[in-house]
Structure 1
Amino acid sequence: MDRHDGFREFVLARQQALMRTAYLLVGDAHLAEDLLQSVLTKVVGQWPRLAKGGNPEAYTRKALVNQYISWRRRPAPEMPSANPPEHGVSYDDAALDRIVLRQALARLTRKQRAVIVLRYWEDLTEAQTAEVLGCSIGNVKSQTHHALARLRALAPELMDSHFQEVAG
C-alpha cells in the first residue's frame, strides 16, 4: 500500500472547487494555479495523516488561505479595466459586474478578501471560516463588516444588486 493512496483521487475530485477558491483569493488564473500547486505539494506530505481520519478538504482549504495570506513576493496581477475599450469589444452587464467586483476585491486586505471568499463564495459559516483562518468568530464578524463596508465604498453599484441580502 502506497503512503499516498487516495491523494490522486482527492485532487481529481476536489481540484475544481479548490481552484475556484484559489482564483477568488488571488484574482488571477495563473497565480491561482501556482497557489494551488504550492499548497498541494505541502498537502501530499501530510497525506498519510490526513487519510487516516483527518479532513483533507478542510486542511487543504486552510492551507490555501494561509499560503495566500503569507505570500510576500506576489506580483500584483494586471487588473482589467472597468471601462472596456471602444474597438468593437462588447461586454454584458454581468461581465462588467465581474470586472468591477474583481477590482474591488483586489483592493481589500488579504484577510478581508479571504473572509469574503470563504463566507460568500465557499458558503462557510462564521465558525467554519474562523477555523480555516485560525481566528475567533468575533474576528470573522469584524473582518466581514469592514470588508463589506470597503466593498460598498469601492463598488456601490454592485452592492445594490449582488450583496443586498449580505449587506442588509
Structure 2
Amino acid sequence: MIDPLLRPRSVEDGELAGLYRLHVRRLIGLATAVTLDRSVADEVVHDAFAGLAAHLGEVRDPVAYLQRSVVNLGIRVVRRRERARTLPARPIEHTSTPDIDDLWPLVSGLPVRQRTVVVLRFWEDLTQDRIAEVLGIPVGSVKSTLHRALRTIKEQL
C-alpha cells in the first residue's frame, strides 16, 4: 500500500492560489526558455493554470501537469511562429482572385461537413486543431475534408 503522504493528491480550490504563488516564476522561466519571448511565456503560463483550474480534482500531480502544459503550449507557439515564418509569400493576383461574394455560392453548395469545415477555417479563422475539437473529429479528418472541399471549389472556378 502507498503511503498517503507520498501519493500525489488532487488539487483543491484553495490550493490553486498557493500553487500559483509557489510556481509561477519558475514556470514563466520555463516558458520563456521554450518560446524565447517573455510576453508569450506569460500567456502560456496563464493558459496552463486555466487548464489546471478546469480539471480541479482530476489532476493527481498538479506541478507535473503545469510543467507538461507549459512545455506543450510553448512548443505549439514556437511551431506556429516557425510555420508562419517559413511559408513562402505568394504574390496576390487581384485579377484572378474571386471576390468573396463569388465564392459563397460555391461554398454553400458543398456537402454540409465540407461547408462547415471551410466556414470554420476561413470565415471563423480557426486552426485545424480547433476545428477538430469543435466538431469532435480527428485532425486528419479535418485536413482531408478541407482538401476535398477546396478541390471541389477550385474545379468549379
TM-score, normalised to structure 2, is: 0.41
**Bigger CA radius of gyration:** 2
Higher RCO (CA < 8 A, seq sep 6+): 1
